[in-house]
């Protein structure tokens, strides 16, 4: 018990040992928020204020949930297996599985990941003969998801013109299609669960009485629906403990609403707001820089990080001639650091957008520095794995048209677009799934389709008594997937991944077997595994070895920390991103929070780099340094000497001379425009009447202006 609370600083201790009240913990970067959250749970349980059964702990990522579970198990002897610790989606799934009838879902309902969802929407548009120029699938998907995240069903959605009405109809059609197929997308998982609790009073009461303490991590990232869901569950007197940092809210673009924090303060926490401001991660200069940056945002809940670690090193700034030059510099520094004994996995190269990783990777590769890139394809998202899962899904639920279409002709078995069109027409007539339509046609229509149906039926029978791993293996072999990749040139890696899928199934049974047997029964193993695959798409695919430099976007760096951090591409239009600047004040503030997150990742040393020219979308852009660079206190900065431009043996120079625009202007010059105000010329193109210049007007954004018409005065 005293062990439990040892080494907590006073605010941490206060937060952990708060009596049963609602509370908001404003936890700055590196202030030990996960520690506070887990210790709070451990303290509540070990002081018998709540049973493990009465705790609901919610996170955003599976990784965070796992970490919390592991830490809790290390703190107190408790069986975390049966506890409700998980992600919003995972917990909603659990609730919906347990009460699928009340939620009007089949026991075997499957979860669509984003790619599946997009596919389902494309298919819907095709079936309804909708012009996808007028209704781009991606846009429709965003429309549907954002409505669901606001808790708005198609029936309640507003539409003021015929186009918007049509869009709402398509939303409704999509809902019908999912319902018919027994599939549920990510947003639906939450919305359906919320509706279930809202409408079903006995169930609601049951859970409201059960959960006495609700604890939420990364509260600043919740959307409206998630907050509503939490409030509903807390409605029976549970104590609501939210931990978050409004300054690290960087997911507004996907529906997160920082306003939830302010609302929560008003509706729940009241006076119980505790600030964790002591930072245990970074040296003083880094923290001072972070504080100075974030200070420029308005409407913050307010927080000032401090440390007793000492000032540490100055922040190094490097101005490169080009993106290549920047990469060269970064990699050279990395090599030097590694020589000086810094572990490579303690060095992070951060960038605003993924496209920027290419130059860095190229340079790292060229110099033989091991590196690891985060982001990209994950295990359960790989095509061969998705194919295999589609067979399994079809065995578990023949109504799943998404799965059907994915593998009906994979490996190719002579079922072309024509037979599929017929099949879809039949399915439409019968108002049934493609699978059932195909089954009813078997005999008269194409034998190929019939053979496919027989294949699935056979697989279902043959695998009926098998354990999950054997089942997967059997399906891989008999479906022809393995054979297909064995003959393919580039199939080796895919075969390995399919092997890995069998292992994943075995591991899954070992890890989850007990829980599953309780919740789903023996036959539920397949469904549970498929759910696992959708909900937890697997580790990011990344290079092996922990002695590798870490490359990632600033977004994916949230929650991580490194001894040395390089923030690259600090150019206006890139970071802050042009699109964000165009969104105005809100957009710029989110970019600033992103900058804050980036800076606070560093423990000992921070580099800031920018390049005068950069290849972007196949064109060289002439850049202006990021406005954020001016927001750093200049006395904290150490400007590194720029090495003379270097030309390689091949004669290639690492920086390019900017083409000068006409009219006595030059790149980098400040000009004044009657409407947009003060700006800096960023690039130029064309001659004579075509001559245009690109000008960065700061808040007014980036503009291309034709010299002949634009009235520009040197400023």
Which amino acids are annotated catalytic?
Answer: 33-34, 217-218, 248, 601
Dihedral sign of CA atoms 369, 375, 376, 381 in order: positive
579 part of the interface to DNA, by CB under 7 A: yes
Give the one residue of 43, 174, 186, 596 binding DNA; rule: CB under 7 A. 186
The answer to whether 649 and 598 have CB atoms below 8 angstroms apart is: no
Contact pattern from residue 86 through residue 115 relative to DNA, giving x for each residue in contact according to CB under 7 A and a dash for the rest: -x-xx----------------------xx-
**Residue 48, SS3?**
coil
**What angle do the packed helices 114-127 and 162-181 form, to 10 degrees?**
110
Q: Which of 185, 191, 86, 203 is nearest to 141 (CA)?
A: 185
618 lies in the binding site for DNA (CB under 7 A): yes
125: contact with DNA by CB under 7 A = no
414 binds DNA (CB under 7 A): yes
Query: Does 412 participate in binding DNA (rule CB under 7 A)?
Result: yes
Residue 606 sits at φ, ψ, to 5 deg, of -130, 130
CB 307 within 8 A of CB 279: yes
Q: Is 433 in the site for DNA (CB under 7 A)?
A: no
| Shortest separation between residue 689's beta carbon and DNA, angstroms | 25
Counting contacts by CB under 7 A, is residue 683 touching DNA?
no
Element (DSSP H or E) covering residue 517:
helix 491-519
Report in angstroms how near the CB of residue 205 gets to DNA at its nearest: 26
Tell me if 577 contacts DNA by CB under 7 A.
yes
Which of the ranges 160-168, 208-216, 398-406, 535-543 carries the binding residues for DNA, by CB under 7 A? Answer: 535-543
Block residue for tokens 């989606």? 89
Would you say 37 and 65 are in contact if contact means Cβ atoms under 8 Å apart? no
Does position 640 interact with DNA (CB under 7 A)? The reply is no
- CA-to-CA distance for 86 and 62, rounded, in angstroms? 7
Q: How far, in Å, CA of 709 to CA of 703, rounded?
A: 13
82 lies in the site for DNA, by CB under 7 A: no
d(CA 387, CA 480): 11
Least distance (Å) between residue 638 CB and DNA? 28
Is residue 355 close enough to count as binding DNA by CB under 7 A? yes
Span near DNA by CB under 7 A; candidates 3-11, 154-162, 348-356, 642-650: 348-356
- In the complex with DNA, which residue's Cβ is closer, 315 or 533? 533
> Which spans in 400-446 are helix H?
401-407, 417-430, 434-441
* Residue 567 in the binding site for DNA (CB under 7 A): no
Residues 409, 422, 436, 541: which binds DNA (CB under 7 A)? 409
Of the pair 555, 605, the CB lying nearest DNA is at: 555
Candidates 249-257, 279-287, 391-399, 639-647; binding stretch for DNA (CB under 7 A): 249-257
**Rg of the chain, C-alpha, whole Å:** 28
Inter-residue contact 570 to 610 (CB < 8 Å):
yes
Sequence-distant (≥ 6) Cβ neighbours of residue 444 within 8 angstroms: none
**Inter-residue contact 598 to 350 (CB < 8 Å):** yes
Binding of DNA by 282 (CB under 7 A): no
Question: Distance between the two ends of the chain, CA-based, in angstroms?
Answer: 67
Contact pick of 191, 216, 415, 608 for DNA (by CB under 7 A): 415
- From 666, 672, 664, 660, select the one nearest 697 (Cα to Cα): 672
Pick out residues in 43-62 that bind DNA (CB under 7 A). Answer: 60-62
Q: Which stretch binds DNA (CB under 7 A): 160-168, 338-346, 365-373, 612-620?
A: 612-620
353 binds DNA per the rule CB under 7 A:
yes
Q: Under the rule (CB under 7 A), what is the footprint of DNA?
A: 60-63, 87, 89-90, 113-114, 122, 186, 250-251, 253-254, 352-355, 358, 375, 409, 412-417, 535-537, 540, 552-553, 555-556, 577, 579-580, 583, 615, 617-618
């Amino acid at each position: 018990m005293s062990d439990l609370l040892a080494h907590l600083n006073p605010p941490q201790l206060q937060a952990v040992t708060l009596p049963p009240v609602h509370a908001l913990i404003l936890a700055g970067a590196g202030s030990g928020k996960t520690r506070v959250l887990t210790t709070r749970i451990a303290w509540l349980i070990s002081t018998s204020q709540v049973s493990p059964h009465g705790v609901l702990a919610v996170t955003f990522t599976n990784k965070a949930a796992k970490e919390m579970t592991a830490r809790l198990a290390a703190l107190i002897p408790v069986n975390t297996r049966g506890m409700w610790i998980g992600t919003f989606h995972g917990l909603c799934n659990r609730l919906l599985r347990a009460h699928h009838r009340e939620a009007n879902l089949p026991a075997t309902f499957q979860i669509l990941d984003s790619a599946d969802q997009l596919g389902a929407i494309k298919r819907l548009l095709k079936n309804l003969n909708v012009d996808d120029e007028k209704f781009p699938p991606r846009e429709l998907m965003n429309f549907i998801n954002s409505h669901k995240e606001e808790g708005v069903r198609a029936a309640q959605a507003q539409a003021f013109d015929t186009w918007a009405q049509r869009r709402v109809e398509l939303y409704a059609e999509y809902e019908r299609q999912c319902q018919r197929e027994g599939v549920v997308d990510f947003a639906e998982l939450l919305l359906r669960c919320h509706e279930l609790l809202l409408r079903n009073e006995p169930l609601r009461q049951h859970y409201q009485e059960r959960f006495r303490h609700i604890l939420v991590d990364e509260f600043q990232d919740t959307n409206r629906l998630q907050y509503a869901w939490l409030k509903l569950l807390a409605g029976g007197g549970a104590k609501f403990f939210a931990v978050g940092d409004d300054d690290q809210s960087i997911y507004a673009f996907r529906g997160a609403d920082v306003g939830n924090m302010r609302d929560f303060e008003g509706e729940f926490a009241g006076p119980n707001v505790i600030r964790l401001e002591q930072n245990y991660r970074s040296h003083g200069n880094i923290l001072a820089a972070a504080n100075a940056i974030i200070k420029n945002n308005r409407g913050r809940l307010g927080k000032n990080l401090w440390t007793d670690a000492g000032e540490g090193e100055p922040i190094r700034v490097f101005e490169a001639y080009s993106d290549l030059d920047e990469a060269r510099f970064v990699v050279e520094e990395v090599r030097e650091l590694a020589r000086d004994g810094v572990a490579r996995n303690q060095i992070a190269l951060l960038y605003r957008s993924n496209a920027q990783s290419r130059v860095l990777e190229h340079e790292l590769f060229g110099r033989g520095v091991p590196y690891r890139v985060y982001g990209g394809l994950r295990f359960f998202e790989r095509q061969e794995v998705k194919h295999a899962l589609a067979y399994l899904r079809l065995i578990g639920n023949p109504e799943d048209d998404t799965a059907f279409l994915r593998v009906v002709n994979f490996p190719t078995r002579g079922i072309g677009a024509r037979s599929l069109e017929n099949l879809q027409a039949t399915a439409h007539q019968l108002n049934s799934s493609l699978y059932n339509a195909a089954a009813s046609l078997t005999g008269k229509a194409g034998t190929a389709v019939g053979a496919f149906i027989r294949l699935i039926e056979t697989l279902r029978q043959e695998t009926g008594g098998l354990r999950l791993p054997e089942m997967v293996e059997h399906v891989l072999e008999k479906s022809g997937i393995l054979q297909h990749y064995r003959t393919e040139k580039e199939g080796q890696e895919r075969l390995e991944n399919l092997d890995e899928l069998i292992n994943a199934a075995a591991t899954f049974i070992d890890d989850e077997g007990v829980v599953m047997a309780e919740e789903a029964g023996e036959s539920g193993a397949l469904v549970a595994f498929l759910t696992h695959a959708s909900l937890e798409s697997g580790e990011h695919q990344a290079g092996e070895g922990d002695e590798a430099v870490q490359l990632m976007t600033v977004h994916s760096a949230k929650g991580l920390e490194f001894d040395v951090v390089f923030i690259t591409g600090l150019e206006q239009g890139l970071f802050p991103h042009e699109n964000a600047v165009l969104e105005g004040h809100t957009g710029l503030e989110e970019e600033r929070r992103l900058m804050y997150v980036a800076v606070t990742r560093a423990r000992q040393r921070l580099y800031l780099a920018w390049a005068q020219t950069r290849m972007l979308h196949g064109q060289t852009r002439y850049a202006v340094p990021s406005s954020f660079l001016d927001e750093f206190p200049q006395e904290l900065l150490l400007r590194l000497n720029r090495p003379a431009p270097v030309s390689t043996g091949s004669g290639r120079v690492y920086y390019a001379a900017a083409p000068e625009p006409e009219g006595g202007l030059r790149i980098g010059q400040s000009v004044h425009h009657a409407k947009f105000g003060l700006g800096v010329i960023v690039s130029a193109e064309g001659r004579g009447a075509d001559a245009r210049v690109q000008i960065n007007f700061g808040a007014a954004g980036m503009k291309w202006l034709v010299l002949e018409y634009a009235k520009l005065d040197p400023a």
